Amino acid sequence: MPIAQIYMQLTLGPILFDWKKDELLRFYDEAADMPVDRVYLGEVVCAKKKGLSVKDIEVVGKKLEKAGKEVVVSSLAVVSNEDELKLVRDIVQLPFSIEANDMSVFNVLPTHDSRLTTHDIIAGPHITTYNVPSIEFLKSIGVKRVVFPVELSRDSVSYCIQNTGIDAEVFAHGNVPLAFSWRCYTSRAYGLNKTNCQYHCKQHPDGMPLKTIEGEPTFTINGTSALSALTYTLVEVIEDLQAIGVNALRISPQYQHTKRIVDIFRKRIDGIIGHEEGLAMLKETSPQGSPIKAFEDKFCNGWYFGKAGKEYVAAPKKSICGVVAAASSLNIPVD
């Protein structure tokens, strides 16, 4: 089916790292004034975090709604015990749309629940929506929007949108979540186990970077999750994302400069700045303090182009317009 040109939304993903409660509250106060359309709240990584309670999430969410933001609560990506299942049960009772990152959400939220008609159910990036049949199944049980898995290529995303008509969101900037485990990587790094962890994640508000013996970045560990070492960004291909029918871009919050990053993406979407300027501006927002100094301003985007995820494929240096430039770099017909 043909894809119509539509307004592209900018969204603020759930905070993946373990920040203090006052830091979280301050961040969401600032988010109320950011040029984003949708804000995702909630815990995706670890139910043991003590940042915001379910009640806190409700209060913050209502404040954001008053500021004109659409609010969505994200679920855990791994549900493996009763405490985690209880958290899922609690968040689906909140008066907001739900992002399901684990299929347990659909078992907890009955299909006859009236919120399926008054609030959206979104398939998060940790649901394996790799193909058309999976999306059609999710649509049949009430899913209104898909946030595609980060490892999906541009061609796969385009094919899925064209053949399902689903509202599509992609992860556009941040450390990419790669894997989740029942065990906690951070506590193991401190010689502890998950049950007796001492919340060392709070000492690493942008995650704990890992590098090889040669000094190359490998991963960022964050509790039970492993993320990319490099920051993933699609800032140079926004015109192409619009052309294939993506209607929302997700910014994953980092400890510093998130507002600046959001502003840069908003200007790119609105055509105020070009791809080269956008990339140059983003290099000034890379997380500082990393022991891997040589890679502080490096990015990756390989998966989007069907290449190794850690690679970065630059946009063409010259173009008549953004869509032609992005399309020609991917051998896409533009006539």
pLDDT digits (tens, 9 = 90+) for 162-207: 999 999 999 999 999 999 998 899 999 898 888 888 888 999 999 9
Q: Among residues 232, 254, 281, which one has the least CA distance to residue 13? A: 254
User: pTM of this prediction?
Assistant: 0.89
Residues 70-89: tens digit of each pLDDT: 999 999 999 988 999 999 99
- What is the residue whose two structure tokens read 């008053």? 66
**Quick one: pLDDT at residue 239?**
95
**Tell me, what amino acid is at 100?**
A
Measured distance between the N- and C-terminal CA atoms of the chain, rounded to whole angstroms: 17
Domain architecture of the chain: domains with CATH: 9-177+228-329 (3.20.20.70)
Is 202 exposed, middle or buried (CB count within 10 Å of its CB: 0-12, 13-18, 19+)?
A: middle
**Quick one: pLDDT at residue 198?**
85
Checking if the pLDDT of 284 tops 60, the result is yes
Checking if the pLDDT of 118 tops 70, the result is no
